[in-house]
Amino acid sequence: MNYSIAGARGHVADPMETIRQAQDWGGPRGIDVLLADATVVFGRAHIESAIRHALRAHDAGTTVAHSVSMEALRYVSAQRQVADAIRLAGIRTGAQELAVAVLGADSTEELLKLFGWVRDDAVLEPREKSLTALGFTKQALSTVPPDRRSDLALEKVALLDVWK
């Protein structure tokens, strides 16, 4: 399945309404939309790995969630339970940095335009984000060079398959 990923800047006034609008836009087109809080995305490779794992689980019939996008959110957040994934990585009221993925499409541009969001892939980068959101302690983080810490997010994505 083809997919496209983008970082975006915008404003989420009502998360549930935003998700409903995204589903209404994607559903008739056969597109599954993933909207996540970019503050818990530690690089493009992190969200891409989560999507690939979700697609693999879908193909194998081992998904926990009812959609590939929700399964990808579980992988992004490294959470076994969908509700925990939503709590940790789902979009929230007032969110301004978003990770957007469209599964079954080659571009996010039409969806970004629908919401009036501006593409900014920089919001996906690790920068000064804290990996404690994914369950890493400061002690554990101290054992990894700062320029390699985003690799820990990829490790959490891969470990979720073991924890299933």
What's the angle, vertex CA 163, arms to CA 162 and CA 164, rounded to 5? 95
**Pick from 46, 96, 95: which is nearest to 72 by CA?**
46
Alpha-carbon distances of 24 from 13, 41, 57, 119, 129, rounded to whole Å: 17, 25, 25, 21, 32
pLDDT in tens, 118-130: 999 999 998 777 7
What domains lie within the chain, and their CATH numbers? 3-163 (3.30.2380.10)
Q: How large is the average pLDDT for residues 72-95?
A: 95
pTM: 0.89
**Where residue 163 falls among pLDDT bands split at 50, 70, 90?**
low
Give residue 119's pLDDT: 98
pLDDT of 112 over the 60 cut: yes
Q: Rounded CA gap, 69 and 33, in Å?
A: 6
Rounded to the nearest 5°, which phi and psi values hold at 39?
-70, -15
Q: Rounded CA gap, 42 and 128, in Å?
A: 10
